[in-house]
Every structure is written in structure tokens, then in C-alpha cells.
Amino acid sequence: MTEPKPARERLEEVFLIEGMHCASCVARIEKGLARLPGVAGASVNLATREARVTFDPSMVSPQAIRARVVQLGYAALDLPAPAVANTAPSNAPQTRRLAVAALLTAPVFVISMFHLRFPGNELLMLALTTPVVFWAGAEFFAGAWRGLKRGSADMNTLIAIGTGTAYGTSAAATLAPQVFSGAGTAHPHVYYEAAAMITTLILLGRHLEDRARARTTAAITSLLEREPPTALVERDGTECEVPVDRIASGDIVVIRPGARVPVDGQIIDGTSELDESLVTGEPLPVARGPGDPVMAGTVNTTGAFRFRATRVGHQTTLRQIVRLVQEAQASKAPVARLADAVSGWFVGAVLVVAMLTLAGWLAAGAPLALALVFFTSVLIISCPCALGLATPTAVMAATGRAAAHGILIRGGAAIELAGRVDTIILDKTGTVTLGRPAVRDIATAPGWTAEAVLALAGAVERQSEHPVGRAIAAAASDATHMPPPAKVSDFEAIKGFGAFAKVEGRSVLVGSRRLLEERGITTAPDLIPPADATATVVHVAVDGAHVAMLMLTDPPKPSSPEAVRDLRALGLRVLLVTGDAEPAARAVAAQVGIDEVHASALPADKVALVAGLQRDGRRVAMVGDGINDAPALARADVGIAIGAGADVAIEAADITLVGGDLRAVVAAIRLSRRAMRVIRQNLFWAFFYNAACIPLAAGALYPLSGFVLNPMIAGGAMAFSSVSVMLNSLRLARNSSCDSG
């Protein structure tokens, strides 16, 4: 019997692509890369210019992938450094070309529009238009030539043919008017203003796109600017100022009033209030003292403190947020598949339509000059720029705005799915409640004291990450007159039930009554759970005997009732799921306004609940913060993790709430719905624009009304369509985006 082959390792290569101008470029690059042996997937984002290629390193190298991009006629560049990533690059040459083009085009436009006739007027327009078309617009002809060499066509092809045709026929009419004598006119019309204005307007459109693109990444820029360049570090008993990138884990960092926290860490001494708004979205300063965590990018307000660095460099919360947002902005929403499919053949179809338009009008007996006007207008007005920008610009704006509210959305797919959910499941502990339960009371069996029970249970739970476990460990630490046990071994976290360990040789089990029963431990008859349904009961067994019962309380977060009310207002069905017993679960649910409760749920039960709802046709979002929630987060249509929770839960989620406020769930769903509306508007406009304008440009109204769409107007309409899509997407970046449905 042969052994199965090991799964092939897959890596991801991420780089920038220069030279793309439309959705057809994106489709060509993705198809070209996908044909390489060993490439499992390729995704190119027109708005960010970023390519992400998943590949098998045993079959293809990153160098071969980039070489393929160059072979296709584009440039493959390294990503910029994190400090400047996703910021708008300086494009002085393009700005200079736009300025010169506008300066030279203005007199051509005036002469043409006001029909000014004077000796040499056409020669003057020829002299002014030539540098506009062939210097300012050189990139269009260069791009068209590259496409011709590789046997393909894109936006540059359409623009080059359109402006070249308008310029060429006008130059011929000026320098050799006898060419048009067969058309029955002694003074053929010239279209210098069309050639010049088309070039200038398209350059203006690209300039405005670049500026709008920079605005979509403003949230990332703001985050990166919050990281100070230097910090005060204690070394060898003295304070010294060092660059942030040279801070090491374990260093003692000194923070004074008004200073920014440079890296993540834990306060050693001192107290203050920190402004965490840019990282968590919380508007009010948060009190911090010894033992509390601090995050890079937060601002100290009044006090002074020292903290020990725990996560530095790219490991800090701030850098991780930036990385997640960058990845999200480079991703695609599934709805973009329609645009990708269309753009693959769109330019070729436009060229065919333009040629048929020219041939059809000539066959109908139209003058060559008129037929060329229709031909040029079809080419210029059909550029699929808006189609390629419709989805990625909305995703960029939405994820950037969400990050400013402490909401990390993994990408376009998460936005699309979150916008469609109709059911939301909320974990209780740490999600609906504060997640900081405290031991309120202890009932012990004869022969045991509360202090002795806490010493053993606390020793076990010091190894646990569960909020209940941390509460028991904290209660044990408060009992300072009891020395901590010296030796803990064989620790086992029993998901959904509790924990087990050997403490100084004694077997200690801490968890639910169900756990004790499954281990064959009989509960003590005098240890009966209290009637107070708001308490969470944890049982302790030592060496197979039930010895104590701990009562813990964990009140709801103050914002939870409002969040639940708002979720209902959005039309969502809201459920509460928890591993706690039914009475405690229903007590919390009643306080926050939830009717449907699923208690005593193990991780598998949570997954089954999600799957059952999905089988019933529901689109389900799961919100949780613990290891127990990770399977359900992964199974749900949308997993939403509380940022203060376990790393494994965050990794399994599609959306992470950095601050932990449940109202951010409402904001995330509202923003996702709003983003999907904008995407649909953008796609509708892009398709409608082309569907309506191509027949108009081809002269559909000319036989009825004599209407002729000037190629100059066509160029302006094409540029406006792209800019309008960008501006519509930027509505998502306004402050109200996360606050209104």
C-alpha cells in the first residue's frame, strides 16, 4: 500500500503592478499568471495596484511570476516600506503633463467652440495639439504599442486609436485638404479640440482617481502616523531615546504625559488614562494601571508610567491592524466576478463595434469625416475604467473607515457576506457580558476551607485562558495569606467543560457539574446550586471527591442592551449561546433583551447550531471571543471575533472588533450593507453608462435628429464615469458610514 503524497506547500507572492489602467488589464494579468504551471490563484486589484499570487514553490519561482507580468507588458515592483505603504505616491511627471496639456488645450478649445476664423487658425491648433497628443498622451500610445506586440488590447488601445484618428484626420484636412475632396466639401471639418480635450480629460480623470485613491487609504496613513519614531527606554539604569524599531521585547519603556505608546506591553508602575480611539474606536480615554496592557499607537493623556515591552516591530497590535487592513483593501468581493468576466472580452468587443460603426456609416453613404467621428466616439466613450474601479474602491473605502472605528474586516468577501446576514448568534461570556467574572461566594464540603479550595483551583486555572478560569486564579491570588502550590503538572483544558491538573500530586478537577458526572464523580448532597440564577456555578473535585462550589457573576456590558436592540432594528434574528447553565444564561439574556437562548453548549453544539440555521436557509453571523467559539466562528457565514479574546478565535473570524464593544457589531453590519449598496450602484452605473452611451456614440440618433456626439464630450463622459465611481465609493469613508444604516 502506497503512502499518500504530502500536500504541496503553497506560498504567496505580493507585489505592485504598474501600467494598469482598466479592468481589461486586470483580467489579462490574472489569466496570464493563472496559466503558469504551479500558480494556484492570482488576484489583481486595480485600485491598489496590488497583486497576490498563490503558488507552489517547487514548480514556479517568484522571479518567474514577476517575469510573466513584465512579459505581459507591465512592471512588477516591490511593495513600499510599511511606513509609507498604501499612501499616495508622488506623481509629479503626470501632474506636469496634465498642466501642460491643459494650458495648450485651452486656446484650441476656445478657437473651436467659438468658431474663430483667422489666417492660420488651423495651423495654430495643429501646433498646440501635437504636443498634447504625442507628449502629454505618450503613455496611451506606448501602452497600445505594448498591447499590439503581445496581441492584446486595453484602454490605452481605445484611447490611442481614438485620439490618433481625430488628430490624423484633422492634420490631413489642414495639410492636405484635397484628400477630402471626394467627400464633397472644400473645407473639411477638423477635430483638434476633440484630440486635445480627450487627452487632457483622461489625464485629469487619472489625476482625480489618484487623489481619491489616496483618500481611501487615509485610515491606514492615520494609523501609521500614530507610531512615534522614537521612545524613551531604560537601559543600564538610565533613560535613553532610541528608534522604535530598535525596542526589544522585555525593554522597559517610559511614557510621559502627552507621549504616544510605541509598542505593546504591560504596565509595571504608574497610572494614567490612554486615548485608544484610533486603535479601538472608543472615544473616551481608558484608565490604565499596573498589570494592564497598553497598545502601540495609543496616546497617554495625563499621568506617567513605565511598561515592559511584550510585542514589538511587526508584532504590535497597530502593525497587525495595518497589515489586516492592507490585505482587506487588496482583496476582491465575490460580486466583482461579474465585472471580471465582462472586462475580459470588453475591449475586443468595443473594437469590433467601432469598426462596424465606421464600415456601416461609410456603406450608408456618410462622409468619411462623419463616419470617423462616430468611430472615434465609440472608442473613447467605451473605456471600461469605471467597471474595474466599481468594487475595489468601495472595498478600500469601507475597510479603511471600519479600521478607524476599531473594526477589522478581512476583505471584500467578508463585506459582502456581512451585508447579507439575517441571523446573529452571540456568545455570552466576554461578548455580551464584561468577560470579567468574579468569585462572589464559595460553598465547601465538610473538612475544607474556602482558602484551601482556592489555592488548589487557582493553581489549575493559572494555566487557563478562559475568563472564568482567570477569575478563579485572580481570587486565589487575592488570598495572599495562602502560599501558592509549588508544583502543577498534567494540565488539560477540557473545552466547554473546565480544566484538570495535578497540584502537588493531587488530582484537581475544576468545571461544570456535567464534567464531574462524566468523570464518575458524585456531587456532594450539601453542595446545591443557589436559587440566584445570575450566578455561574463552578464545581471543584479533589482526588475524585466533590469538595466545593464556586459562585461567579459576570454582568452584561453596559452597551449590550443597546446593541441587541439595534441588531433587532436591522431585522436580524438574535440568539444567545453559552456553555453556562440554563438559569444563568436566561438571566443575562433577559437583561439585554434576547429571547432565544441555547445554554450548556459545547463547542460542537455551537457548530451544530450554526449548521442547523444554515440548513434552514439562514445566513448566520457568529460573535465570540474564546477558544470555544473558534469552530463556530469558522463555520458561520461570517465570524466576528472580539479583539480582546483568544488569538485562535481572531484567526478564525472574518471580522475582528478591536475594542470589544458589541455596538461595533451593529456598525460592521451597517457598514457592510452600505458598502454593498455602493458597489451595486457603481456596477449599475458602469454597465448602464456603456450600454446607453455606445449606441449614442455610434450615431443611433443621427438619422432621427441629426445628433452627433462630439468625441471631446465622449472623452469627458468617460473620465467622469470613473471619477464618479470613485467619489461614490468615498461616501463610505465619511464619519457617518459606521453610524447609519
**Could you tell me which CATH number the domain at 411-429+557-673 has?**
3.40.50.1000
Half-sphere exposure for 638 (CA within 13 Å, toward CB): 31
d(CA 62, CA 2): 33
Q: What's the pLDDT score for residue 670?
A: 95
Radius of gyration of the chain (CA): 33
**Could you tell me which CATH number the domain at 11-77 has?**
3.30.70.100
Tell me if 395 sits within 8 A of 332, measured CB to CB.
yes
Q: What's the pLDDT score for residue 87?
A: 41
Q: What's the pLDDT score for residue 533?
A: 57
Is position 427 annotated as part of the catalytic site? yes
Active-site annotation holder among 251, 264, 340, 427: 427
Q: What's the pLDDT score for residue 98?
A: 92
Torsional sign, CA 116, 122, 123, 126: positive
d(CA 174, CA 190): 8
Residues spanned by CATH 2.70.150.10 within the chain?
228-315
Backbone angles phi, psi at 59, to 5 degrees: -115, -30
Other Cβ atoms within 10 Å of 580 Cβ, number: 27
Which helix (H) or strand (E) segment holds residue 323: the answer is helix 317-330
Q: What's the pLDDT score for residue 3?
A: 45
Low-confidence ranges of the chain (pLDDT < 70): 1-9, 80-91, 179-188, 209, 212-223, 277-284, 324-333, 335-344, 383-385, 388, 479-486, 530-534, 626-627, 643-652, 715, 718-719, 734-741
d(CA 458, CA 456): 5
Residues spanned by CATH 3.30.70.100 within the chain?
11-77
Residues spanned by CATH 3.40.1110.10 within the chain?
438-553
Residues 457-506: tens digit of each pLDDT: 998 988 877 778 888 888 887 764 555 666 888 888 887 788 999 998 89
Residues 216-273: tens digit of each pLDDT: 566 566 667 778 889 999 988 889 999 998 999 999 999 999 899 999 999 999 989 8
Question: How does strand 655-657 pair with strand 293-294?
Answer: unpaired
Tell me if 724 sits within 8 A of 685, measured CB to CB.
yes
Top-tier CATH class for 228-315: mainly beta
Residues spanned by CATH 3.40.50.1000 within the chain?
411-429+557-673
**Could you tell me which CATH number the domain at 438-553 has?**
3.40.1110.10
- CA distances to 385, 422, 684 from 339, rounded to whole Å, are 11, 26, 11
